[in-house]
Amino acid sequence: MSIDNQAAPTTPAGRTNDGAPANLTHGAGASVTMPARGPEPQPRGAIIRGNRPIDQQEAARRFMAAPEHLAMHDQRLWDLRQKRDGQKEIIEEWEDLRQLASDIKTHTLTHLDTYLEQFEKNAIANGVKVHWAKDAAEHNSIVAEILRSKNAKSLIKSKSMLTEECGFREAMAEAGVQVVETDLGERIQQLDNENPSHVVVPAVHKLRTDVAEVFAKTLGSDPNNSDVSYLTEQQREHTRPLILKADAGMTGCNFAVAETGSVVVCTNEGNADLSANTTGLHIVSMGIEKIIPNLNSLAVFVRMLSRSALGSPITQYTSHFRGPRRGAEMHIVIVDNGRTDRLGLEKFWTSLKCIRCGACMNTCPVFRRSGGLSYGATYAGPIGLIIDPTFNRHKYSTLPFSSTMNGSCTNVCPVKINIHEQIADWRQVLAENHEIPAFKKSMMKAAGALLASPKLYRASLPMADSALRHLPRFVLYNKLNTWTRGREMPHVPKETFHQWYKRTRGMDGKKK
Amino acid sequence: MRVGLFVPCYVDAFHPEVGQATLELLERFGCEVEYPFDQTCCGQPMTNTGCHKESKATEELFVRNFKDYDYIVAPSGSCVNHIRNNFDAVAQTDDVKHVREHTYELVEFLHAVLKVDGFPWAEFPHKVALHNNCNALRGLNIASMTELREKKFSKPRDLLGMVKGLELVDITRPDECCGFGGTFSVFEEATSARMGQDKARDQAKSGAEYVTSSDSSCMMHQEGCAKRLGLPTKYIHISQILNGERV
Ligand code: SF4
């Protein structure tokens, strides 16, 4: 799914279209020599250091140090959350629909083999060639082989998180296939050589001045023109010819309907149809969890998806692909890539219910303030925190801690995944498997020992004589005392409640 | 009715006045309140960090301290949420079950158990913004949530509505987390502080002179952020307002 709000018609705070300070009138601007100040540079995502755990906080700090990006990102996503809230108020049966959607997914996931077989049978009957891939590498080589057999050298594709997961573009580059993304946001990210930062709005972290810069570098457009229509047109002019002469097309899959063997893709730009129908070869990349039983259940998800994602009743296009067009070929690659293993995780298997609507990201206060790329993983935000560790427990061991576990994600999730509880469960799994920093573990050991002993605990309070003496234990144990970087210390009262009670009421609790 | 008063560690250390107000308020309604001397903490900081084993002994101590009371009341939604919903490091004995089922956050205790219908001693002629702690909101359900399609209600609003002169004002993102998040506030300091500062700005913009909450932890963080930004907003625990404190 995708939307076209990458270059929203808002001007970054304090700037006009041409980049001059907004508080100057035209005349004043012309008569005063202005120090040249370019647009705020785009903060980049997490620094990847091989298999080392991602430092989300470091990247988040850089994002928050870019005020225009931060304000735009937070507000744009908050607007989506509010529009979503508006939609939910219109639908009287909203909470029942969430339950129904959750139940359908639970049912399907617990009968996955049956439905996948049914889907395969019906798809084959429709004239589709079905392939099974156990992991990313197999997915990429199956697609490369299909392309090679057709002598296809260029591929147009619509947005698919699964292909991101598979490192597909890199694999195609190695195979000598030119890939062109047809979703505008995804295309911007491709041209900028950056991952999507959000499952629905992949370039939402970019200001339009960032887009102007990317297009100037890659398409040769005017670097100083960040007008939305101009940018869109530049991109279109450049990409259309590539699309029209492409050899093959690829789409992802929002829903795979077992009963009909058809694949359903939801977009706002119509680019899935473009990708599927322009050439004589349509390849669908689909995760095994995309399966749903029938068209009746599809109706439930179609009502939920766009409302949850963007607060619009439905996407502009809901495209059903049932079989190849006359004279064309259609292939579906059904991919596992760790999903079966995830299905076996008692506390985490329900994360497979996810329909990638991004609502949990839009509502997440941490995500809105740190940007999706700060997570350094294919999946960012709340859903990312609970599925990334299934791909690489060590590298993504820090992510479940990038959350306050406030629970808003769980409440907006259209398929009722208990996201914040799974975040807590991941913390436990990681701590027990020595995947949390040693200092944290020893701090918690010490805190646990102290708090379990009233004598030691009380004795520890008046012992230390500094501004830190009364800080809660978890603060005191943090040698860095990070509290005061962005906040003032709390006022320290003369006596604790405990001391007051003892003084005024005595040990027996009788008023003195 | 024998009530055990639980005063969380940060309330004990930083906001003894909140413990005092809670105690007095419960006594005004005729509760027989005791403060068990050996109490320390509920174990939340360790569990919150994934270290369940490390919180086991603390949870056991909590149960030893409070198992004999009809009710356990604390002026903190997040601690109560931990006890009621996440108290899993200890073996689930009958005592543990009793404690988990009978521990209440102050607002819900006044609302649902004591069913109070007024605070004749209280008067607070100020503009007040309410902050609901996320655990109290989404874990204990002290109010309806903006994400859900449900009937609107708010237990703290009901109680504050009984206070003479008090005027509630709305902020633009009422259910947005303030970024305290327990250990999050120190381990992920930058995001935490930024969220707190945004919250403090939103509160100041609403015209509120005071912010109140049933949780001191969030407010300790918010107050620190407001002070850093030089905002004039003052922070007061709901128990103090309901107990008739004059400012
Ligand atoms: S976890 Fe839920 S809210 Fe988040 S993307 Fe998936 S379906 Fe949407």
* Domain of residue A145, CATH code: 3.40.50.10420
- One domain for residues A194 and A315: yes
Check residue A462 and give its pLDDT.
52
| Residue B221 neighbours by CB under 8 Å, 6+ apart | A487, B178, B179, B180, B185, B192, B196
Decide: residue B197, CB within 10 A, 0-12 exposed, 13-18 middle, 19+ buried. buried
Q: What is the mean pLDDT of chain B?
A: 94
Identify the residues whose C-beta falls under 6 Å from ligand 1: A 354-360, 383, 412-415, 417, 419
Has residue A358 been placed in a domain? no
The encoded tokens of residue A261 equal 């063997």
CA of A415 to the centre of ligand 1 (A): 7
Map residue B221 onto helix, strand or coil: helix
Has residue A426 been placed in a domain? no
Q: Is there a contact between A180 and A157 (Cβ–Cβ < 8 Å)?
A: yes
Check residue A448 and give its pLDDT.
84
| Residue A347 neighbours by CB under 8 Å, 6+ apart | A422, A425, A429
Element (DSSP H or E) covering residue B34: strand B32-34
**What are the φ/ψ torsions at residue B195 (nearest 5 degrees)?**
-65, -40
Check residue B13 and give its pLDDT.
84
Map residue B67 onto helix, strand or coil: coil
Q: Is the dihedral of CA A181, A187, A189, A194 positive or negative?
A: positive
Residue A96, Cα to own-chain centre: how many angstroms?
26
**What are the φ/ψ torsions at residue A107 (nearest 5 degrees)?**
-60, -50
CA–CA distance, A102 with A414 (Å, rounded to integer): 8
Has residue A101 been placed in a domain? yes
Residue B64 has pLDDT above 50, yes or no: yes
Has residue A281 been placed in a domain? yes
Check residue A409 and give its pLDDT.
98
- How many C-beta atoms surround the C-beta of residue B2 within 10 A? 12
pTM: 0.91
DSSP strand pairing (A262-267 vs A317-321): antiparallel
Sheet of A178-181: strand order equals A129-133, A329-335, A281-287, A248-251, A154-157, A178-181
Q: Return the half-sphere exposure (C-beta side, CA atoms, 13 A cut-off) of residue A233.
A: 7
Check residue A494 and give its pLDDT.
82
Determine the angle formed by the axes of helices A184-191 and A208-219, rounding to 10 degrees: 60
**% pLDDT > 90, chain B:** 82
Residue A462 near chain B (CB below 8 Å) = no
Check residue A35 and give its pLDDT.
53
| Residue B7 neighbours by CB under 8 Å, 6+ apart | A497, A498, B18, B19, B22, B35, B39, B74, B75
CA of A476 to the centre of ligand 1 (A): 37
Check residue A470 and give its pLDDT.
42
Check residue A364 and give its pLDDT.
98
First to last CA, chain B: 31
Q: Which chain B residues are Cβ-neighbours of A491 within 8 angstroms? A: 14
CA–CA distance, A277 with A466 (Å, rounded to integer): 71
CA of A479 to the centre of ligand 1 (A): 37
Residue from the list A57, A445, A491 with its beta carbon closest to the beta carbon of B190: A57
Write the ipTM: 0.94
Residue A470, Cα to own-chain centre: how many angstroms?
39
A residues 137..176 contacting B (CB < 8 A): none
Q: Which parts of chain A have pLDDT scores under 50?
A: 1-32, 463-477, 479
Decide: residue A36, CB within 10 A, 0-12 exposed, 13-18 middle, 19+ buried. exposed
Chain A nearest-CA distance from B49, in A, is 6
CA–CA distance, B215 with B180 (Å, rounded to integer): 11
pLDDT digits (tens, 9 = 90+) for B159-181: 999 999 999 999 999 999 999 98
Domain count, chain A: 2
Decide: residue B77, CB within 10 A, 0-12 exposed, 13-18 middle, 19+ buried. buried
Q: Which among A413, A418, A421, A423 is the best mutation to test ligand 1's pocket, defined by most ligand atoms within 8 Å of the CB?
A: A413
- In 3D space, the residue among A385, A348, A355 whose CA is nearest the CA of residue A56 turns out to be A385
Q: Which amino acid does the sequence have at A504?
A: T
- How many C-beta atoms surround the C-beta of residue B168 within 10 A? 17
Decide which of A278, A308, A339 is a domain's last residue. A339
Q: Which chain A residues are Cβ-neighbours of B183 within 8 angstroms? A: 474
Check residue B245 and give its pLDDT.
93
pLDDT digits (tens, 9 = 90+) for B16-60: 999 999 999 999 999 999 999 989 888 888 888 888 888 898 999
A residues 466..505 contacting B (CB < 8 A): 470-475, 478, 480, 482-483, 485-493, 495-502, 505
CA–CA distance, A434 with A416 (Å, rounded to integer): 30
Residue A237's domain spans which residues? Answer: 96-339
Is B127-242 in CATH node 3.40.50? yes
Decide which of A339, A356, A379 is a domain's last residue. A339
- One domain for residues A143 and A284: yes
Has residue A87 been placed in a domain? no
User: Which ligand 1 atom is the nearest neighbour of the CA of A353?
Assistant: 7
Domain borders along chain B are 2-113, 127-242
CA–CA distance, A194 with A209 (Å, rounded to integer): 16
Q: Which amino acid does the sequence have at B97?
A: K
Q: Is there a contact between B237 and B213 (Cβ–Cβ < 8 Å)?
A: yes
**Number of helices followed by number of strands (H, E) in chain B:** 13, 8
CA–CA distance, B9 with B6 (Å, rounded to integer): 9
For an interface test with A, the pick among B37, B188, B219, B228 (most A C-beta atoms closer than 10 Å) comes out as: B188
The encoded tokens of residue B55 equal 């919180």
Q: Is there a contact between A154 and A354 (Cβ–Cβ < 8 Å)?
A: no
Q: Is there a contact between A168 and A143 (Cβ–Cβ < 8 Å)?
A: yes
Give how far Cα A116 sits from Cα of A57, A70, A100, A119, A176, Å: 40, 43, 21, 5, 32
Q: Is there a contact between A410 and A363 (Cβ–Cβ < 8 Å)?
A: no
- In 3D space, the residue among B182, B190, B173, B145 whose CA is nearest the CA of residue A366 turns out to be B190
Residue A46 near chain B (CB below 8 Å) = no
- In 3D space, the residue among A3, A91, A83 whose CA is nearest the CA of residue A316 turns out to be A3
| Residue A65 neighbours by CB under 8 Å, 6+ apart | A43
CA of A95 to the centre of ligand 1 (A): 15
